[in-house]
């Protein structure tokens, strides 16, 4: 069962998690990393786990946080652990350096020098740029001097290739799992999607060549730093014996580097709303189970359901969010404020959409649910849909459900190159990553469908 060696479960031997953080990581991102570490300690960290912090590119050991055994809240009260957290906080508050490089080829040796003798699971969180540049390895930069994206050939991962990415004398511990937090959603040569995808495949292959390790995900959001669940299942790659060289990704990469104009990328809402509700007439079983007991005691049970399909890339997460806004007051239900008295609540905030068939596009289990409060007139509410994380085309469907019946549906397709991580929320009306749907429109669609029967 070697292919499953990366799976996480309850462990009897101490676990070790290594944070490799580029010195140029901005202070605001460092603070988010600090929040992620504290949240991890209070929720998912196992007893006696070691969290080892290393600053790159020179791989300087910053501090090791030894997670005490005991209740989650008691951990933070331990004097020795609080002292280590103080060191960590002091480092987080330092002014950033100049390099965004991780010196990935040195990670196995650094871990070997710091690793205990427990033999427990090993996990890695990388925070820095995937676009390699190293003065010590001239000729292996992943962006050419004129800005064109380059990806190493698979042959650079084979022993004796002479590249900095070839296996060394030391490998990662078997079955290591890793995540990579990138500095921005549009990293790569001039924001080239082709360059990003080429490098993501290459780095996944690099980890597999390191004792069957797994690079679980790339994400620009620190929320996913400690999420070692594979984005798209286990994909076994095999390096091709194609020599050791740097190659252009493809013509699309060249076009991006030369600033060749591309078609406008916008969120598309059909001009014509289908007059008849879809054939599906009830909530799916897993959602129905959440609300079936509420029907008898609710004066109205108005539900807004968003579902969406995973994006075009198997190497990235997909996250489409839905928000409910009260037009008169501006009050808002969203993932950071999921319950607002007298307005509604958000249920099923899915942060990593999946394609459950693995064969053809499907909405899978990617449901987000807004439940409108009983005393609120839906006609005075607006729904906003945001492509938070995702690459390329992401189809979505918004449905109005009353007393368990789907009465109106709106189909939406986001076609932007990347999600915006919610950063356009303040100017959402002008952003192609946001779509506005007044509930009054869906109610009008319901009325039209009823009148036509």
Q: How far apart are the first and last CA of the chain?
A: 58
Assign domain 285-452 to a CATH class.
mainly beta
The DSSP code for 400 is E
Residue at token pair 């991102």: 29
Please, which pLDDT band fits residue 260 given cuts at 50, 70 and 90?
very low
Compute the distance between CA of residue 21 and CA of residue 107 in angstroms, rounded to an integer.
12
Q: What is the pTM of this model?
A: 0.57
pLDDT band, residue 99 (cuts 50/70/90): very high
Fold of 2-257: Rossmann fold (3.40.50)
CATH fold match for the domains 2-257 and 285-452: no
Q: What is the pLDDT of residues 380-412, one digit of tens each?
A: 999 999 998 888 888 888 888 876 677 888 888
Q: What is the mean pLDDT of the chain?
A: 78
Look at residue 289 and tell me whether its pLDDT is greater than 90. no
Instruction: Give the integer Cα–Cα distance in Å for 173 and 314.
Output: 25
Find the mean pLDDT for residues 55-84.
88
How far apart CA 121 and CA 13 sit, in angstroms, is: 8
CA dist list (Å): 51 to 31, 64, 81, 209, 215: 17, 6, 11, 24, 18
* Cβ atoms of residues 363 and 397 within 8 Å: yes
**Secondary structure letter of residue 358 according to DSSP:** S
Specify the pLDDT at position 366.
Answer: 57
User: Rounded mean pLDDT of 275-289?
Assistant: 39
Structure tokens at 445: 């669609």
Q: Please determine, for residue 262, whether its predicted confidence score (pLDDT) is greater than 50.
A: no
Maximum CA pair distance of the chain? 75
Starting at the edge strand found earlier in the chain, the sheet holding 214-219 runs 60-66, 50-56, 16-22, 122-127, 177-181, 214-219
| pLDDT value of residue 128 | 97
pLDDT at 176 over 90: yes
pLDDT confidence bin for 299, thresholds 50/70/90: low
Q: What is the pLDDT of residue 288?
A: 44
Average the pLDDT over each of 149-153, 298-302, 322-326, 378-382 and give the range with the smallest value. Answer: 298-302
- 197-213 per-position pLDDT tens digit: 889 889 998 999 999 89
Distance CA 340, CA 141 (A): 50
- Per-residue pLDDT at 251 exceeds 70: no
The residue extents of the domains of the chain are 2-257, 285-452
Phi/psi-derived region of residue 175, left when phi > 0, alpha when psi is between -120 and 50, beta in every other case: left
231 CA to centre of own chain: 9
Q: 3-class DSSP state for residue 106?
A: helix
Residue 25: which pLDDT band, with cuts at 50, 70 and 90?
very high
Beta bridge partners of 125: 19, 179
Task: Return the pLDDT at 375.
Answer: 83
Provide the residue count of the chain.
453
pLDDT of 94: 92
Q: What is the pLDDT of residue 284?
A: 43
5-21 burial, b at 16+ Cβ within 10 Å, e below that, comes to ebeeeeeeebbbbbbbb
- State the alpha helices, DSSP H only, in 161-284: 193-208, 251-257
With pLDDT > 70 as the criterion, what percentage of the chain qualifies? 75
Distance of CA 79 to the CA centre of its chain: 34
Is residue 282 within 8 Å of residue 406, measured between CB atoms? yes
User: What's the CA gap between 88 and 309, in Å, rounded?
Assistant: 39
Residue 80 has pLDDT above 80, yes or no: yes
How large is the average pLDDT for residues 4-28? 74
3-state secondary structure of 243: coil
């Amino acid at each position: 069962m070697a292919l499953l060696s990366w799976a996480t479960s309850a462990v009897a031997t101490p676990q070790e998690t290594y944070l490799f953080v580029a010195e140029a990581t901005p202070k605001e991102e460092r603070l988010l990393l600090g929040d992620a570490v504290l949240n991890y300690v209070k929720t998912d960290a196992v007893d006696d786990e070691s969290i080892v912090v290393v600053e790159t590119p020179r791989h300087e050991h910053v501090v090791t946080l030894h997670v005490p055994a005991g209740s989650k809240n008691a951990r933070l009260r331990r004097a020795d652990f609080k002292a280590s957290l103080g060191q960590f906080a002091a480092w987080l508050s330092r002014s950033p350096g100049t390099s965004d490089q991780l010196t990935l080829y040195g990670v196995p040796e650094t871990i070997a020098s710091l690793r205990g003798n427990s033999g427990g699971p090993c996990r890695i969180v990388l925070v820095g740029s995937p676009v390699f540049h190293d003065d010590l390895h001239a000729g292996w930069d992943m962006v050419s001097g004129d800005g064109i994206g380059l990806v190493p050939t698979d042959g650079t991962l084979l022993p004796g290739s002479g590249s900095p990415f070839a296996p060394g004398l030391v490998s990662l511990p078997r079955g290591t799992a890793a995540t990579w937090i990138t500095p921005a959603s549009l990293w790569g040569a001039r924001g080239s999607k082709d360059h990003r995808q080429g490098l993501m495949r290459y780095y996944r292959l690099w980890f597999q060549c390191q004792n069957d390790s797994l690079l679980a995900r790339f994400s620009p959001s620190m929320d996913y730093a400690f999420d070692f669940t594979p984005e798209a299942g286990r994909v076994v790659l095999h390096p091709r014996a194609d020599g050791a060289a740097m190659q252009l990704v493809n013509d699309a990469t060249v076009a991006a580097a030369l600033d060749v104009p591309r078609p406008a990328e916008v969120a598309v809402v059909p001009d014509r709303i289908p007059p008849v509700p879809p054939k599906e007439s009830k909530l799916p079983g897993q959602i129905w189970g959440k609300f079936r007991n509420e029907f008898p005691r609710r004066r109205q049970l108005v539900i807004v359901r968003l579902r969406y399909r995973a994006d075009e890339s198997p190497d990235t997460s997909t996250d489409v969010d839905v928000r409910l806004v009260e037009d008169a007051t501006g009050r808002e239900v969203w993932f950071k404020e999921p319950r607002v008295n007298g307005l509604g609540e958000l249920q099923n905030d899915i942060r990593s959409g999946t394609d459950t068939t693995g064969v053809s596009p499907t909405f899978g289990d990617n449901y987000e649910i807004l439940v409108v409060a009983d005393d609120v007139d839906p006609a005075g509410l607006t729904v906003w849909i945001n492509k938070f994380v995702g690459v390329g085309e992401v189809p979505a469907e918004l449905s109005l459900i009353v007393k368990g019946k789907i009465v109106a549906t709106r189909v939406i397709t986001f076609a932007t190159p990347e999600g915006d991580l919610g950063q356009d929320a303040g100017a959402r009306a002008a952003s192609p990553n946001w779509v506005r749907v007044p509930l009054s429109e869906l109610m009008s669609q319901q009325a039209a469908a009823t009148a036509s029967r």
